[in-house]
Amino acid sequence: MNRQADDSNPVKHYLIQRLLFLLPTLLGALTLVFVLIHLIPGDPVEVMLGETATSADKQELRRNLGLDQPLLTQYRNFLTNLAAGDLGRSLYEQADVAEIIGARLPATLQLALCAMIAALAISFSLAILAAVNRGRWPDRGALLFSLFGLSLPNFWLGPLLMIAFSIQLGWTPVSGRGGISHLVLPALTLGLGMAAILTRILRASLLQVMTDDFVRTARAKGLPEKQVWLKHTLRNALMSVITIMSLQFGALLAGSLITETIFSWPGIGRLTVQAIQTRDYPLVQGCVLVIALSYILVNFLTDLLYKLVDPRVSYE
């Protein structure tokens, strides 16, 4: 009876299937993060506090981190604390890791969102221009942009943009977080790689969809060109964009470590780098965990988004 009910509701069935698949993935990611602190060569407490720390301090930290417990107990405690939202305490900031990350999260989300918007705006304009003018100079220009965009690492692009627009022209602030002018360069630095990949993929998709029968039919029955593009061509080319965006989201989050460091943007990326530099490992663990979980969550949501964009996608 229940099986019949499940089968009659493929969306529910699919959701349960995806959620079940999410569990081992989540557990795998959590285990990797747990293992991190145990990979520190030698005594992790000595590495964190330095050789000059007193044995009482070391003992105290060992107890606080639970490193005096057997490994399995540590793992169980790690998962139990995590379920209660407890990511531990920072070694230097005298605050809960969850609190520190919570305070920095909005800045990273703002930057990632703006980078995505910049990437979408650039790639859609270039890909449409290229597809409409196939083989001519706008097409070649878009392909060249894509090739160079893919080859420019963000740890060089950031300083380049800074030299040109902040130092030479004085159009944007050099670093920090404030108004929209503060966002422009970091968002471009973070989003350019994604824009390059999206331009290439979207152009190829558009060229393919443009020759499909249903687009020819839409034109033949006299639909205005704007409608042919918006309702038929672009919508059908969107699937590949969603896939790439979801895959690139991880790169975007990881890229935020470098971009935020270059532009002194007060987000999780910069926090992670600072935590690495000060050897605040509980904070490093917390940051890595939050970034990885966001990535897993975005991939999960992307799977669900496919159906919205393309009703032909089967949940069976």
Partner 1 sequence: MNNKLWLALGAGILLVLAVSALFAPLIAPHHPLRQSLSEDLIAYSADHPLGTDKLGRDILSRVLHGGRISLLVGVSTVTLSLAIGLIVGSMSGFFGGWIDQLLMRLVDILVAFPGILLAIAFTAVLGPGLDHVVIALCLIGWTSYARLVRGEILALREREFVQAARALGCRPKRIIWHHLLPNLLPPLLIQATFGLAAAIVAEGSLSFLGLGVEPPTPSWGSMLNDGRQFLLVAPHLTTYPGLAIMITVLALNLVGDALQERLTARNR
Q: Report the interhelical angle of 180-210 vs 154-161 (nearest 10°).
A: 130
CB of 29 to partner 1, least distance (A): 6
Selected from 129, 296, 306, 307, the binder of partner 1 by CB under 8 A is: 296
- For residue 89, the cross-strand partners are 96
Identity of the residue, 120 or 247, whose beta carbon is nearer to partner 1 in the bound complex: 247
- For position 291 contacting partner 1 by CB under 8 A, the verdict is yes
- For position 299 contacting partner 1 by CB under 8 A, the verdict is yes
Identity of the residue, 238 or 283, whose beta carbon is nearer to partner 1 in the bound complex: 283
Per CB under 8 A, which of residues 125..164 are in contact with partner 1? 147-148, 150-153, 155-156, 159-160, 162-163
DSSP for the chain reads: -HHHHHHH-HHHHHHHHHHHHHHHHHHHHHHHHHHHHHTSSS-HHHHHH-TTS-HHHHHHHHHHHTTTS-HHHHHHHHHHHHHTT---B-SSS-SBHHHHHHHHHHHHHHHHHHHHHHHHHHHHHHHHHHHHTTTSHHHHHHHHHHHHHHHS-HHHHHHHHIIIIIIIS--S-SSSS-SHHHHHHHHHHHHHHHHHHHHHHHHHHHHHHHTSHHHHHHHHTT--HHHIIIIIIHHHHHHHHHHHHHHHHHHHHHHHHHHHHHTT--SHHHHHHHHHHTT-HHHHHHHHHHHHHHHHHHHHHHHHHHHHH-TT----
- For position 24 contacting partner 1 by CB under 8 A, the verdict is yes
Identity of the residue, 100 or 258, whose beta carbon is nearer to partner 1 in the bound complex: 258
- For position 315 contacting partner 1 by CB under 8 A, the verdict is no
CB of 25 to partner 1, least distance (A): 4
CB of 26 to partner 1, least distance (A): 8
Identity of the residue, 228 or 287, whose beta carbon is nearer to partner 1 in the bound complex: 287
Q: How long a stretch of residues is the chain?
A: 316
- For position 211 contacting partner 1 by CB under 8 A, the verdict is no
- Give the CA distances from residue 192 to residues 3, 31, 198, in Å, rounded to whole numbers and listed in that order: 47, 33, 10
CB of 291 to partner 1, least distance (A): 6
CB of 311 to partner 1, least distance (A): 27
Per-residue binding string, partner 1, 157-196, x by CB under 8 A, is --xx-xx---x-----------------------------
Structure tokens at 100: 């520190």
- For position 262 contacting partner 1 by CB under 8 A, the verdict is yes
- For position 67 contacting partner 1 by CB under 8 A, the verdict is no
Distance CA 112, CA 109 (A): 5
CB of 152 to partner 1, least distance (A): 6
- For position 284 contacting partner 1 by CB under 8 A, the verdict is yes
- For position 108 contacting partner 1 by CB under 8 A, the verdict is no
Identity of the residue, 296 or 309, whose beta carbon is nearer to partner 1 in the bound complex: 296
Selected from 41, 50, 135, 179, the binder of partner 1 by CB under 8 A is: 41
Backbone angles phi, psi at 246, to 5 degrees: -65, -45
* Residue ranges in contact with partner 1 by CB under 8 A: 21, 24-25, 28-29, 32-33, 36-37, 39-41, 147-148, 150-153, 155-156, 159-160, 162-163, 167, 250-251, 253-255, 257-258, 261-262, 272-273, 276-277, 281, 284, 288, 291-292, 295-296, 299
